[in-house]
Copies of this chain bind each other. A is one copy, B any other.
Amino acid sequence: MISFSNWGEWMRHALELSATIAFTLSGVMTAARSRLDAVGVYAVAFLTALGGGTLRDILLDLRPFFWVRHVEYLWGVLALSTVAMMFMRRRHFEPTEKAIQLPDALGLGLFAAVGVDLASAHGMPALVAVLMGVVTPVFGGVLRDIVCNQIPAAFSDHRPYALCAFLGGWVYLGLQALQTPDWLALSATVFFTAGLRMLALWRDWQLPIWRVDH
């Protein structure tokens, strides 16, 4: 299990907080685009922010869920969604999406590392652990899109996202096998995953296209 000096703890909480804010806002905006009502906005915000970690905990049979041990996450998502509904306008969407790219990428790396770490601490084989590291950050957005009746963006926008978490998961496992200290393995995974994601966005990398037509 990840254990930290105070400084590591502090960094981890800061990353977790900023990623949860990014995930919540992405849920709120997708719900708004799909013309959901206020109840739908809250529901999709919850699913986006907490869905991936919850599925991971169900698959690993861990209880209580992280949002039961830390109810402040639920209150936070509730509060942030309310504020967003009060003040957010359509012209804010594009700048917000730009602004959450970095915290979202950092969250991708953090939740990948946390998912891999939890799964391997519970005795999962390497590939299963890495896939749990993919599920944790990615599945919330998948649920968000399913509820909004769209094909999940993570599966169809040809941008590397889950792939960065997949590669980051192997980096984390590799560092763990080399007995790297926890804080260093975590930092390196977050840095690697988020860096890869930002690079992919910046250089407009596309997943290899599968041409089935000829």
Q: Could you list which residues of chain A lie within 8 angstroms of chain B, going by C-beta atoms? A: 31-32, 34-41, 43-44, 54, 58-59, 61, 63-65, 67-68, 71, 74-75, 85, 88-90, 93, 124-125, 127-128, 131, 142, 146-152, 154-158, 160-163, 207-210, 212-214
Q: How far is the CA of A112 from the CA of B117 in the complex (A)?
A: 35
On whether the beta carbons of A37 and B158 are closer than 8 Å, the reply is yes
B36, B88, B146, B152: the one contacting A156 at CB < 8 Å is B36
**Measured CA separation A157–B157 after assembly (Å):** 29
| Residue in contact with A213 in the complex, picked from B38, B61, B90, CB distance below 8 Å | B90
Which of B34, B44, B127, B142 touches A74 (beta carbons < 8 Å)?
Answer: B127
Q: Report the Cα distance A157→B163, complex, angstroms.
A: 34
Contacts of A90 in B (CB 8 A): 212-214
Copy count, this protein chain: 3
Nearest-Cβ distance from residue A145 to partner chain B, whole angstroms: 9
What is the chain B residue whose CB lies nearest that of A214? B89
A149 and B147 CA atoms in complex are apart in Å by: 9
Pairwise interchain contact B148-A210, C-beta atoms closer than 8 A: no
Contact in complex: B39, A207 (CB < 8 Å): yes
Note all chain B residues with C-beta closer than 8 A to A44.
155
Nearest opposing residue in chain B for A90, CB measure: B212
Please tell me if the beta carbons of A161 and B39 are within 8 angstroms of each other in the complex.
yes
Are the C-beta atoms of B128 and A71 separated by less than 8 Å?
Answer: yes
Check A150–B149 contact: CB distance below 8 A: yes
A-B contact pairs, 7 of them (CB 8 A): A31-B155, A36-B151, A37-B207, A39-B163, A43-B154, A61-B61, A74-B127
Partner of A63, one of B61, B75, B161: B61
